[in-house]
């Protein structure tokens, strides 16, 4: 496509910026997939800036494919002390659907240090489509113009095999929304194909310890497809975003109890990111007390609260005329922060994870939202000390049945034979109205 010409590199002779963890051990090109040229790279390097100041750079140096972009190379410098004493190794984060609304909120949070920390330099790798390429350039330009000191690289591309190379995190947002008259099974198939391809690309080129957060709907089953297509990456590393539902549940409980939402803890969303999801008020707490002690209106908890959370996405679409974007981006940031910072004592967070080996008796081999804790190392453990009652368990089983049905629809994408699609009638995304 020759799209790299969209940037006018002035420092092509400069030393490249330091790369992420696995950079020194790049895997060779994939036999089953042709490689494309990296479309455009925006980099900023302390060393590069220093070389400019020292006059090391010369006009005769051969052009490099990975270029330092214009003023971005020289707008800031770090004192050598800062670099050696307090800056961490670059974290490399790929974002798909990078030209979309959710990403437009998220990328600036990531670049600011709000998510990974104020001492964590970051590389952002933006994945888009041919159609969105110009918009991707616009996003990259806005990132440049923001002069974030922690943002060390920005690259844009349309080939996941290029964009995912050596990444530490994959935030998979891009997916087709369900249009009017479109069957849910068709959506599962279309989006499933995207996540099967991206799973293969992650398997081929990403860091072996990459953490993958699937946001594109139907996110639980898309995450399952993705992990099945990436057998060399631990299944435990794949997540489906249900943090938005947790945040919505916390807000509703706070409203009903007449407290600010920081008083609400231990909220689990069980199951699918759909209208069968189960916001758990049995184990949740307000000001450290069981919710049922604070909110005595059990009918409200069982009916109104549960439905409000399940259908919040749809109500938002009616108001906005499009699906939630800013709050989704906030919840993605929350989901990542929950994995890179230790979970507060006694609390937990919800995320959709692989069920095999779960202690609750939920069917194995699906992606189901459950309560988790983290030491802050990117990994997590399932919480074991949760209570169950008939109401909770019945609803968990309904969400489980839905996910098992979705799984059958995508058997052709998970390597499990022929698809057979017979979805329950009320199967809907939170945003479907
Ligand atoms: C949401 O929960 O707001 C979204 O998943 C809705 C949607 O369908 O995009």
Catalytic residue among 32, 239, 273, 412: 273
pLDDT at 317: 84
Beta bridge partners of 92: 123
pTM, rounded to two decimals: 0.84
Using the CB atoms, write b or e for 313-344: b if 16+ within 10 Å.
bbebbeeeeebbbebbbbbbbbbbbbbbeebe
Q: How far apart are CA 326 and CA 324, in angstroms?
A: 6
Neighbours of 57 (CB within 10 A): 18
pLDDT at 185: 76
Neighbours of 361 (CB within 10 A): 12
pLDDT at 163: 96
E strand intervals along 293-406: 349-354, 367-373, 381-382
pLDDT at 229: 98
Number of H-type helices and E-type strands within the chain: 14, 15
Q: How far apart are CA 147 and CA 157, in angstroms?
A: 21
Minimal-distance CA residue to ligand 1 atom 1: 313
Fill in the DSSP letter of residue 235: G
- Check if the beta carbon of residue 374 is closer than 8 Å to that of residue 365: no
Neighbours of 77 (CB within 10 A): 16
Q: How far apart are CA 199 and CA 216, in angstroms?
A: 13
User: Does residue 324 line the site of ligand 1, with CB under 6 A?
Assistant: yes
219 Cα nearest atom in ligand 1: 5
- Packed helices 101-112 and 133-145: angle between N→C axes, nearest 10 degrees: 30
- Check if the beta carbon of residue 402 is closer than 8 Å to that of residue 277: no
Using the CB atoms, write b or e for 363-385: b if 16+ within 10 Å.
eeebbbbbbbbbeeebebebbee
DSSP string, 51-96: HHHHT---TTSPP-SS---GGGGTS----HHHHHHTPPPPEEEEEE
Q: How far apart are CA 403 and CA 17, in angstroms?
A: 44
Residue 293, phi then psi, degrees to nearest 5: -80, -30
Neighbours of 123 (CB within 10 A): 26
Question: Mutate which of 243, 323, 329, 369 to test ligand 1's pocket (most atoms within 8 Å of Cβ)?
Answer: 323
- Check if the beta carbon of residue 426 is closer than 8 Å to that of residue 419: no
153 burial level (CB within 10 Å; 0-12, 13-18, 19+)? buried
Q: How far apart are CA 370 and CA 273, in angstroms?
A: 12
User: Does residue 218 line the site of ligand 1, with CB under 6 A?
Assistant: no
273 is catalytic: yes
Closest CA to 222 of 189, 200, 254: 189
User: Does residue 188 line the site of ligand 1, with CB under 6 A?
Assistant: no
Residue keyed to tokens 């961490």: 88
User: Does residue 227 line the site of ligand 1, with CB under 6 A?
Assistant: no
pLDDT in tens, the chain (433 residues): 333 322 222 222 222 333 333 333 333 334 445 444 345 554 443 333 333 333 333 334 433 334 434 334 444 455 554 555 556 899 999 999 999 999 999 999 999 999 999 999 999 999 999 999 999 999 999 999 999 999 999 999 999 999 999 999 999 999 987 766 667 778 899 999 999 999 999 999 999 999 999 999 999 999 999 999 999 999 999 999 999 999 999 999 999 999 999 999 999 999 999 999 999 999 999 999 999 999 999 999 999 999 999 999 888 888 888 889 999 999 999 999 999 999 999 999 999 999 999 999 999 999 999 999 999 999 999 999 999 999 999 999 999 999 999 999 999 999 999 988 888 765 567 766 5
Diameter over CA atoms, the chain: 77
Cα(269) to centroid(ligand 1), Å: 15
Question: In sequence order, which residues have a C-beta less than 8 Å from that of residue 54 and are 6 or more positions away?
Answer: none
- Check if the beta carbon of residue 349 is closer than 8 Å to that of residue 371: yes
- Check if the beta carbon of residue 8 is closer than 8 Å to that of residue 40: no
User: Does residue 428 line the site of ligand 1, with CB under 6 A?
Assistant: no
Residue keyed to tokens 């330091």: 18
pLDDT at 184: 74
Residue keyed to tokens 């009320």: 426
Q: How far apart are CA 140 and CA 128, in angstroms?
A: 12
User: Does residue 103 line the site of ligand 1, with CB under 6 A?
Assistant: no
- Check if the beta carbon of residue 310 is closer than 8 Å to that of residue 279: yes
Q: For residue 226, what is the enclosing H or E element?
A: helix 219-228
Q: How far apart are CA 126 and CA 41, in angstroms?
A: 10
Minimal-distance CA residue to ligand 1 atom 6: 431
432 Cα nearest atom in ligand 1: 8
Q: For residue 152, what is the enclosing H or E element?
A: strand 151-157
């Amino acid at each position: 496509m020759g799209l790299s010409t969209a940037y006018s590199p002035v420092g092509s002779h400069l030393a490249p910026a330091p790369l992420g963890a696995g950079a020194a051990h790049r895997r060779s090109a994939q036999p089953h997939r042709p490689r494309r040229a990296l479309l455009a790279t925006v980099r900023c390097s302390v060393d590069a800036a220093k070389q400019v100041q020292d006059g090391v750079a010369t006009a005769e140096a051969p052009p490099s494919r990975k270029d330092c972009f214009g003023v971005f190379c020289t707008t800031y410098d770090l004192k050598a002390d800062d670099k050696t004493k307090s800056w961490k190794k670059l974290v490399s984060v790929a974002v798909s659907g990078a030209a979309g609304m959710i990403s437009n909120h998220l990328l600036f949070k990531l670049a600011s240090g709000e998510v990974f920390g104020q001492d964590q330099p970051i590389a952002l790798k933006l994945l888009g489509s041919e159609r969105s390429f110009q918009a991707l350039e616009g996003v990259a330009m806005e990132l440049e113009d923001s002069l974030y000191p922690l943002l060390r690289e920005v690259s844009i591309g349309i080939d996941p095999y290029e964009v995912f190379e050596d990444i530490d995190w994959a935030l998979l947002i891009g997916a087709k929304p369900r249009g009017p008259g479109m069957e849910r099974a068709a959506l599962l198939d279309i989006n499933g194909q995207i996540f099967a391809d991206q799973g293969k690309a992650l398997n081929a080129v990403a860091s072996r310890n990459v953490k993958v957060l699937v946001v594109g709907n139907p996110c639980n089953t898309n995450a399952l497809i993705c992990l099945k297509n990436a057998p060399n990456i631990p299944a435990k590393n794949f997540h489906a975003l249900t943090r938005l539902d947790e945040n919505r549940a916390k807000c509703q409980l706070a409203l009903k109890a007449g407290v600010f939402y920081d008083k609400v803890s231990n909220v689990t969303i069980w199951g699918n990111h759909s209208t069968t999801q189960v916001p758990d008020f049995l184990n949740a707490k307000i000001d450290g007390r069981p919710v049922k002690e604070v909110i005595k209106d059990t009918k409200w908890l069982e009916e109104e609260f549960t439905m409000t959370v399940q259908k919040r996405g749809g109500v938002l679409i009616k108001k906005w005329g499009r699906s939630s974007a800013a709050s989704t981006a906030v919840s993605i940031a929350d989901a990542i922060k929950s994995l890179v910072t230790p979970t507060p004592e006694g609390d937990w967070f919800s995320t959709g994870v692989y069920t095999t080996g779960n202690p609750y008796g939920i069917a194995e081999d699906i992606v189901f939202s459950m309560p988790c804790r983290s030491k802050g190392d990117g990994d997590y453990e399932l919480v074991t000390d949760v209570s169950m009652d008939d109401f909770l368990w019945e609803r968990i089983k309904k969400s489980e049945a839905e996910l098992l049905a979705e799984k059958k629809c995508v058997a052709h994408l998970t390597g499990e034979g022929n698809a057979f699609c017979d979805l329950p009638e009320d199967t809907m995304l939170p945003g479907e109205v």
